[in-house]
Amino acid sequence: MIRYLTAGESHGHALVGIVEGVPAGLPISADYIDHQLRRRQQGYGRGGRMRIEADNVEIVSGVRFGKTIGSPIALIIRNRDSQAWKEKMAVESDGEEVEMVTIPRPGHADFAGSTKYGFDDIRNAIERASARETAMRVACCTIVRKMLEEFGIFIGSHVLSIGTAKISDRGAVDRMIGKYTKASCGAYKITEEADKSQVRMLAKPVESKAVALIKSAKKLGDTLGGVFEVIATGAPIGLGSYVHYDRKLDGLLAQALMSIQAVKGVEIGSGFLNAEKFGSQVHDAYGLSHGKIVRLSNRAGGLEGGVTNGETIVLRGAMKPISTLARPLPSVDLKTKRVVKARYERSDVCAVPACSVIAEAVITPALANAFLEKYGGDSMAEIRKRYSKDRNR
Ligand code: EPS
């Protein structure tokens, strides 16, 4: 089974990652991963840091002559900005000259994190809680994504709303998605289309409203969140299981999305809308088309009983507005116990487009492990044999 770990502080030397359990024989390159890293850095509303970083991955181990060899894959992404943080982030000095951060930002991990670990200097919590870490998550998960793609499982995403700028004609967007997912790269076509927009929205009029909102938030010293949708096509029936809570794929996918910094809500299919309706208006009726069982709708988002049902997987995530505010909320200086304004340090105004890219990546280990549980083997060739024998597809 695939698992991965990341390490690294936002302004430390580098982010590092180890991906374990990837089968042998998977073609992979740094270029392939870098493309996803570049996508993660885009989006209107990002702050100055993205002008400093140009994320590139170095594959240190586990790949030989362009293919995985079954051993752990180690990755490094260097933080260009670390040059400016040498003293503040020194590994070996005593740090006496470095000013401590003692004022927590509401909404960030600053207070809870530094209280938990007993830090006087909040910087220790800031650095690892930062969403910078998602660069390495995307790198690690892009390898897993490549494995899924080899079996025809493609993932895409787009942004549904930023603040109050919302897609209003859902039907029109669904028709676009329906058309795009017929492409040979399935849901990835949604991603390619969304990438043409600076806020990753599929509907033009909402895009300009979203950009205008981000501009005004910036002027006001404020930030914005939003909702994104992640779609996966090509998953066969029967990934995940209903037999135990920890094997339910919907729960595992929700966990992956919820683990992204600033994501505070997750939905599968039209989960929240479904809760307002009668059962007869919600459940996806069966039909027959050329002797094949089909579903007449997909409100369940491709998962029933925690198991893939052969329909497109549809997930949504809600990202709260970024907690670092240029016009800060009240806070308390933990050292002086005085009520003061929260600290401001350079940050983004809106990172929902980036979050949608991260979401595409982080769901892949859950999907891939459910896939490997059913069809797994040590090499791609072995898995391919097992998968092609399956009569469900
Ligand atoms: C982040 C704060 C900003 C973001 C960062 C996440 O960084 P900095 O404090 O260096 O300006 O740009 O995101 C990234 C660096 C990234 O690569 O996504 C935070 O506090 O979470």
Ligand 1 atom showing the smallest separation from residue 129 Cα = 21
Helix (H) or strand (E) holding 318: strand 313-319
What is the identity of the amino acid at 269? Answer: G
Edge to edge, the sheet with strand 14-20 lists: 3-7, 14-20, 73-78, 57-61
CA distances from 183 to 45, 145, 154, 234 (A): 30, 18, 11, 12
Ligand 1: centre distance to CA 293 (Å): 47
Helix (H) or strand (E) holding 155: strand 154-162
What is the identity of the amino acid at 53? Answer: E
d(CA 310, CA 236): 5
Residues near ligand 1 (Cβ within 6 A) = 10, 47, 49, 53, 81, 130-132, 134-135, 261, 324, 345-348
Nearest to 302 by CA among 392, 390, 374, 230: 230
What is the identity of the amino acid at 129? Answer: A
* Mutation to probe ligand 1, out of 81, 88, 123, 348 (largest number of atoms < 8 A from CB): 348
What pLDDT does 391 receive?
Answer: 60
Q: Per the structure block, which two tokens stand in for 359?
A: 């979401």
| Nearest CA, atom 18, ligand 1 | 132
**At 219, is the secondary structure helix, strand, or coil?**
helix
d(CA 254, CA 303): 12
What pLDDT does 346 receive?
Answer: 87
Q: Is the overall model pTM greater than 0.85, yes or no?
A: yes
pLDDT string in tens for the chain (393-residue length): 999 999 999 999 999 999 999 999 999 999 999 999 999 999 999 988 999 999 999 999 999 999 999 999 999 999 999 999 999 999 999 999 999 999 999 999 999 999 999 999 999 999 999 999 999 999 999 999 999 999 999 999 999 999 999 998 999 999 999 999 999 999 999 999 999 999 999 998 999 999 999 999 999 999 999 999 999 999 999 999 999 999 999 999 999 999 999 999 999 999 999 999 999 999 999 999 999 999 999 999 999 999 999 999 999 999 999 999 999 999 999 999 999 999 998 889 999 999 999 999 999 999 999 999 999 999 999 999 999 988 655
d(CA 111, CA 121): 10
| Nearest CA, atom 7, ligand 1 | 347
**At 43, is the secondary structure helix, strand, or coil?**
coil
**Contact at 8 Å (CB) between 263 and 317?**
yes
| Nearest CA, atom 19, ligand 1 | 130
Q: Per the structure block, which two tokens stand in for 146?
A: 């490549």
**Contact at 8 Å (CB) between 225 and 351?**
no
What pLDDT does 345 receive?
Answer: 83
Reduced DSSP (H G I as helix, E B as strand, rest coil) percent helix, strand, coil of the chain, to 5: 35, 20, 45
What pLDDT does 339 receive?
Answer: 98
Ligand 1 atom showing the smallest separation from residue 11 Cα = 10
Query: Please, which residues bridge with residue 227 across strands?
Result: 161, 318
User: 95-100 — which CB contacts under 8 Å span 24+ positions?
Assistant: 95/121, 100/335
The alpha carbons of the chain give a radius of gyration, in whole angstroms, of: 22
d(CA 262, CA 239): 28
What pLDDT does 231 receive?
Answer: 98
Tell me 285's DSSP state: -
Q: Which residues contact 196 (CB under 8 A, 6 or more apart)?
A: none
